[in-house]
Structure 1
Amino acid sequence: MAEAIARPGRTMPRHVAIIMDGNGRWAKSRSLPRTAGHRKGVEAVRDVVKAARELGLPYLTLFGFSAENWRRPETEIFDLMHLLRFYLRSEIAELHRAGIRLRVVGDRTRLAADIQAMIGNAEEMTRANAELKLTIALSYGGRQEIVIAARRLAEEVAAGRLAPEAIDEALFARNLLTGDIPDPDLLIRTSGEKRISNFMLWQCAYTEFVFTDILWPDFTRRELENAIEEFHRRDRRFGAVSSR
């Protein structure tokens, strides 16, 4: 499958984003606590990141925890933060050895101080890596990100450092949390839900969507390859007339 995906004449997506959904349902279907689903989901993250690197994807973004997820029960949030700590402790050295750069986007102020420090250390350790640019969205919301960008530009205008007429789409995009990475070519959502749930609203204007019924803990390299195959079958027109 990998050879078919990368064969000559095919353009691989530069940036794949994934909404990882279905951990709870995976656990419920097995009469397990939701925590078990989240733990299994961490294993899927490990496998998909490895697959993305081996397939030669330059950018991979994973939606790990939304701004709205803070409304979940405190016990579940506690378990999720425990798993995040575990991931940051256990995986960063391996990511670094594999040449993967890690960055986190979202409202870090809502994360515990030790988690913020671990994220900062991981980003600094992997900063120069270029095999794969891995972004994890934590405490992230697309609307909130747009508001932050608008506020930054408004402050520049108010200070006299920026003329309002100088604001265009490119400048606005550079002020987003993802301003230094390309927009996603392909967005995958697992678990059968067909919405993007406040994820990368600006960036996904011309993204191709693939929705799969597979629950995130069961998402494998083969599922990633299947989604990329589907991407290759799309006619990306960006508002123009089809060339087919």
Structure 2
Amino acid sequence: MKKLAFILALAGMFFGCSKNTEVSTNESITRETETATEVQNETSTVVQNSTGVETKTEEPWIALIEKEVTEISFKNGEYTIIPTDKEDYFEIYTELENGLRFYAILMQKNFEDDPRALSEPERFQKYAKVVLSASTLPQYLQKERGIFETNGYKFKRTIKVTEFARDIVFFRLSYYTTTPMYMLRCTFSRDADEFKEEAPQYFDENGGWKLEMPSGEPGYIEFAQKMVDGTIESKTARELYKICEDFMKTIEIKTVE
């Protein structure tokens, strides 16, 4: 039953991964990742040797949190995850203020019970590389790339306000990080029809996101970018973003000695 609940939760809160609606900005990598903690990973890359024969080489696993976690908590221990070797994943699901739903999952990097989880290691590693690259950049570029850091721990942050159709409006803010054994994702979400009322300039006469703003960006992209830099006109958007950031700042992560 627990695994069924996990699958339903994934389907309900994280359906789809369309790249054109996710604000994670430029993710080109500007340096090598040799400074990361390297733990052997099951994923592999096909390369050609000197004779032209294709072989598979295993890539090192990038752990943004270098030591293995023993406990993750929020709000002074009000919400806690304590991993054990008896389960492949551990989760928190709760409702916060202003109708926000919060879902956190700590999943083993080789978790295979659900087909949707099979691409997760690749996605988490892509995000981990972005975090490592941004760590050498000026602060304004780090912010633009969606890097969140608290208590010494770094996360890749993504924000989405639409998916599948231009008239769909919601709020979803996610934070990703990795450990030697696990992938941690924390997501806040809720419907957000208030955006249309409070910031109508981003929507067309039919209630859908504008295809192009004066800046040249689609309405949903500019809206999300302004939410991050604090200039968005929507009061609800500002409040939701602040709740998420403040909540994530309460995270405490204990690791092995």
Report the TM-score, using the length of structure 2 for normalisation: 0.24
| Higher strand proportion (structure 1 or 2) | 2
- TM-score for the superposition, normalised by structure 1: 0.25
Q: Return the structure number with greater relative CO, CA threshold 8 A, min gap 6.
A: 1
Higher helix share: 1
